[in-house]
A and B are shown apart, each in its own frame.
Chain A
Amino acid sequence: MFSLLRSMWLVFLHMFHKRETYQYPEEKAPLPARWRGRIALTRDPDGGERCVGCYLCAAACPVDCISLQATEAPDGRRYPSFFRINFSRCIFCGFCEEACPTYAIQLLPDFEIAEYDRQNLVYEKEDLLINSQGKYPGYNYYRVAGMAIGGKDKGDAAKEEPPVDVKSLLP
């Protein structure tokens, strides 16, 4: 009898508590920056595609919903010729983001990607690529990698010596 009354009293007190309910969709919940939502492909500070088509995201994906084909531009930059994520399979685990060595693939705080037609959940590269650096501003993979690309020759990357002169015997 006592516990019954106590419960009623506690419920009554809740009427005066601060409200936790958001009136979604009129009111949006503030999501933390590291929320694992919609997946995007970001760009580096120069505006180039960050994705180099290394296939690590696809390999890490536990539901195998990422598919891509790597290719190489004439200037030596690698990029995916297509990049597809099947969001109808995606479980938003974020493994792809963790696997990505170039900070290209990132999960954004956006979950509003519901569709009436399942086919529309298949995102191609043009749907995924955004014009932003996402959560990791300033990082440019090719500035630290050893491959030469247009505008960055051997020895130009961070912490690189100029190319060896093979004809020299000097120490």
Chain B
Amino acid sequence: MNIYIDNKKYEIKEGKNLLEACLQLGLNLPYFCWHPALGSVGACRQCAIKLYKDEDDTKGRLVMGCMEPVRENVRISLEDSDAKGFREQVIGWLMTNHPHDCAVCDEGGSCHLQDMTVMAGHNYRDYRFTKRTYNNQDLGPFLNHEMNRCIQCYRCVRYYKDYAGGKDLDVFAAHNHVYFGRCGDGKLESEFSGNLAEVCPTGVFTDKTLQSHYTRKWDLTYAPSICQGCSLGCNVSAGERYGTLRQIANRYNGEVNGYFLCDRGRYGYEFVNSQQRIYEPAIRPHSNGTVNKEHIIEVVAEKIKKGKVIGIGSPRASLESNFALKQLVGTDNFYLGMSDSDHDHTGLALKILKEGPVRTPSLHEMEQADAVLILGEDITNTAPLMALAVRQAARQQPIHDTEQQLHLAPWQDAPMREAIQDKKGPLFILNTFPTKLDELATAIHRGAPDNLARIAFALAAKLGADITPVSDLHEDEKELVTRMADALMAAKSSLIIAGYGSGCDHFMKAAANISWALQQQGRTPMLSLTLPECNSLGLEILGGHRLDSAIDVVKQGEADTIIILENDLYRRADEHVIDEMFKHAKEVILVDHLYNQTAEKATVILPAGTFAEADGTLVNNEGRAQRFFQVFVPKGSVQESWRWFLQIADKAIIPRLNGLQNLDDIIWAMCVAVPFLEKVQQIAPHADFRINGQKIPRESHRYSGRTANLAKENVSEPKPSDDIDTPLSFTMEGYRGEPPAPLIPYFWSPGWNSVQSVNKYQTEIGGHLHGGDPGLRLLEPHVNGKPHYFREAPDHFVPIPGHVQVMPMYNIFGSEELSMYTKGIAQSSQDFFCMYMNPEDMHQWGVSPGIWVSFDVDHHTYQMVAVPNHWLPRGIAALNAGLPKSKIIDLPQCIRLCGSESLHIAR
């Protein structure tokens, strides 16, 4: 479609509005209320342009760019003096009450309002009268509130309520007194509240964790990174200053996280700066003097040569580190450091995705689904951003209907919401506990996981899957099956979600069956499976033995030296099991970055780099391999885990790792050894990549303090560190243009200092980045493969007398190991460790609430406080999974109730 802007002809895709068109063409048009993910409402009047009737029209009329669709041969002008004057006036008005705050405002330097004020040409304040003020609220540990700065664009409530489904942020008061906040002080309840800091065009909502070590955007050393918080692999930009990580900002990826992050991902970075960090190697019992790097490498190499060695990998370490360890100890001696149930789930997921005919979608594709079925998974807590995607998917069907009936474009946000009201597309949730998505659901069903899985199997059978039919369903369950089957068959692209969250792998099997059956019916379903950790799938692809066989091997004396990679084994199996293993081991060599319970048992500790101090590759739940890059040069002897292993292998003379030195070497070796990972070599440019002979700088061109940062120690500046592993440089020198998508350290464009500059990096607004979104999918569906259905549904759940089946309960704040080092996240988590039980069970066994109950696990007695939970079916109990210092890890498991003590604990 052709359009004319200032008499110049441009080509643009249909279905956009003129503001999007201008931004996409690289033209600068200021805006506030429009946001690529939220659509247009035409409220701020900032994107005014002149629209002409035809070629002869010289007068034209002012219209709002965001409210006017692109039409064939439409003629507009941005440069017209009326339009420019109007925009300057408008921003002048918006600025009347804006305080004289920039110097003390955390948004300064990455502020959309600053950028737009300059862009619109409002250079001097004309307003000399009194300014309106507001009192602020305490919004909890993640966000600051400074209402004086508000320009009433309404983006915050549109994002928080309409997009993210939050309830507790709203607009209050009237006329020129409108107030954006909560009813009273308190933490924002939504798991996606942190995005307000980026959605707000000015400094009303700012990142509180950044404020605690405040640095301007131009002073941060950024590198493209991948979130370590869950299996979705959201893209982030991690920023460092003075040797500590300061901020996680969203890094747009059109396929994965788009414009938003969850709060665990955004704020869960503070473990990098933790007091618990290991910076120097250590040997126990203590050797004389300090251990230097060369010496400890020799010591470890010696121990490896002498001992019978096994290696335990980690789902939170990169592919490279796991591969290096696997090669160091030999394939037969490599064990996956996942709990057995995690291992089962991940293995099953990999099998389903690899062998099945159904495609697993990216988050962006999930947003487009028009019918969703969630099986046994509270995705808000196990894969938070997936929940945000499902919230958008629930609107797809009404949006399609409205588009056809009323001829509204989807970006027409206000009329679209008016037309849709609270209509929702089909969303079915089968889960034991209530979830935050229940409010959107067409139908919800609760019960024991096995019983819910039976319903899902019945649904698969109904859709024509070749499985053993499930009988003895209740009438209402049968009706639900019919409803779900009808909705899924009617949908253009349905989405089936299952995962590890309930600890019951029948859900994944049922989800696979359902999606395969739909595929065979000629539908195009999507199947998404959540996984426990950021590299669970990568580790499973790499392959290794189970953790419990490692324990057996050590106990039987077939191995005496254990090398543990970035793993706290006390989070992988019950305490007594790991204690037993360490008792039998002669040497425990730990490569990790945090001093944890496992580190206390280690005889050798090597300091590993966190995601901010290392390069590596992760594979997310979609099978997308993504590279994260080192942000800064760490203190002490910290280096990448794989580099430790390469250096040890060099000393111990392990031919499998011979001659490998840097990142590209180990990736090459990995791709040769595991051909399935072939594409990992192509996900980012190699270390010798240059543009105009230059590296890509991690620092902005305004980076300050180069000659003063280290002057206290020595006035002569040291040579900046070289990065031998990647095409990024640790300095501000380098190529200043747009880097390739996988190497974009931060988004910036002349005149666009805030994160809104991402428009300049996209081929289409809200679309892919130039040159394609970073990351490559390793898993594609086996299109012509005949699905091997999981034929047997689980049996009906029957409680075993005197026993409870314990299932895990995951929480966005608390269940993930590393994010708990952030104070705000620890505050937001469940602060006590207890056993949730069915109240009738408790009554039957004479357990009153708040009493210590003893449980027997493999003849080891554990005690916990019993708390009633009405959602739990009889015979089932639940534990908050992953809380620090939890002793029962391997969930689900059947444990025996020994009795209760009358010792009452005041809660």
User: How far, in Å, is B302 (CB) from chain A's closest CB?
Assistant: 43
Query: Of all chain B residues, which has the CB nearest A159?
Result: B130
CA distance A128 to B128 in the complex (A): 35
Of B101, B136, B711, chain A has the most CB atoms within 10 Å of the CB of B711
Q: Are B133 and A69 in contact (CB under 8 A)?
A: no
Q: Are A147 and B708 in contact (CB under 8 A)?
A: no
Q: Are B704 and A59 in contact (CB under 8 A)?
A: yes
Contacts of A89 in B (CB 8 A): 707-708
Q: Are B133 and A55 in contact (CB under 8 A)?
A: no
Contacts of B703 in A (CB 8 A): 64
Is residue A144 within 8 Å, beta carbon to beta carbon, of the partner chain? Answer: yes
Contacts of B712 in A (CB 8 A): 84, 122, 124
CA distance A162 to B714 in the complex (A): 51
Residue among A61, A168, A171 making CB contact with B704, cutoff 8 Å: A61
Contacts of A78 in B (CB 8 A): 104
Q: Are A154 and B103 in contact (CB under 8 A)?
A: no
Q: How extensive is the interface on chain B, given as a class?
A: 35 or more
Q: Which of A92-119 contact B (CB under 8 A)?
A: 101-102, 118-119
Residue among B109, B133, B216 making CB contact with A162, cutoff 8 Å: B133
Contacts of B134 in A (CB 8 A): 154, 163-164, 166
Q: Are B103 and A118 in contact (CB under 8 A)?
A: no
Q: Are B715 and A166 in contact (CB under 8 A)?
A: no
Q: Are B108 and A145 in contact (CB under 8 A)?
A: no
Is residue B129 within 8 Å, beta carbon to beta carbon, of the partner chain? Answer: yes
Is residue B661 within 8 Å, beta carbon to beta carbon, of the partner chain? Answer: no
Of the candidate stretches B167-175, B421-429, B809-817, B819-827, the one touching chain A is B167-175
Is residue A132 within 8 Å, beta carbon to beta carbon, of the partner chain? Answer: no
Q: Are B130 and A67 in contact (CB under 8 A)?
A: no
Residue among B103, B148, B174, B706 making CB contact with A101, cutoff 8 Å: B103
CA distance A84 to B177 in the complex (A): 43
Q: Are A65 and B707 in contact (CB under 8 A)?
A: yes
Question: What sequence of 0s and 1s flags, for each residue 140-171 of chain A, a beta carbon within 8 Å of any chain B beta carbon?
Answer: 01001111100000110001111111111101
Q: Are B216 and A168 in contact (CB under 8 A)?
A: no
List, sorted by A's number, 25 A–B pairs whose CB atoms are closer than 8 Å: A52-B103, A54-B103, A54-B108, A55-B216, A59-B218, A65-B707, A67-B705, A70-B215, A78-B104, A85-B708, A86-B715, A119-B714, A119-B715, A122-B712, A122-B715, A141-B103, A145-B99, A145-B104, A146-B100, A148-B136, A161-B130, A161-B133, A164-B133, A166-B173, A168-B173
Contacts of B35 in A (CB 8 A): none
Given A58-B219, A59-B216, A78-B104, output 11 extra A-B contacts at Cβ < 8 Å. Answer: A55-B704, A65-B711, A88-B715, A89-B707, A101-B102, A122-B715, A145-B100, A147-B99, A160-B133, A164-B179, A168-B177
Question: What sequence of 0s and 1s flags, for each residue 95-111 of chain B, a beta carbon within 8 Å of any chain A beta carbon?
Answer: 00001111110001100
Query: Of all chain A residues, which has the CB nearest B179?
Result: A166
Q: Are B705 and A154 in contact (CB under 8 A)?
A: no
Q: Which of A66-84 contact B (CB under 8 A)?
A: 66-72, 78, 84
Give me the interface of B with A, judged by CB distance under 8 Å: 99-104, 108-109, 128-136, 146, 148-149, 172-175, 177, 179, 211, 213-216, 218-219, 242, 702-709, 711-712, 714-716
CA distance A53 to B215 in the complex (A): 9
Tell me how many residues of A have a C-beta within 8 Å of chain B. 51
CA distance A101 to B149 in the complex (A): 18
Q: Are B99 and A65 in contact (CB under 8 A)?
A: no
CA distance A59 to B242 in the complex (A): 16
Is residue A63 within 8 Å, beta carbon to beta carbon, of the partner chain? Answer: yes
CA distance A70 to B106 in the complex (A): 10
Given contacts A146-B131, A146-B148, A164-B177, contact A67 B216 (CB under 8 A): no
Q: Are B705 and A64 in contact (CB under 8 A)?
A: yes
Q: Are A66 and B101 in contact (CB under 8 A)?
A: no
Is residue A121 within 8 Å, beta carbon to beta carbon, of the partner chain? Answer: yes
User: How far, in Å, is B711 (CB) from chain A's closest CB?
Assistant: 4
Q: Are A166 and B146 in contact (CB under 8 A)?
A: no
Query: Of all chain B residues, which has the CB nearest A156?
Result: B133
Contacts of A52 in B (CB 8 A): 103-104
Contacts of B103 in A (CB 8 A): 52, 54, 56, 101-102, 141, 145
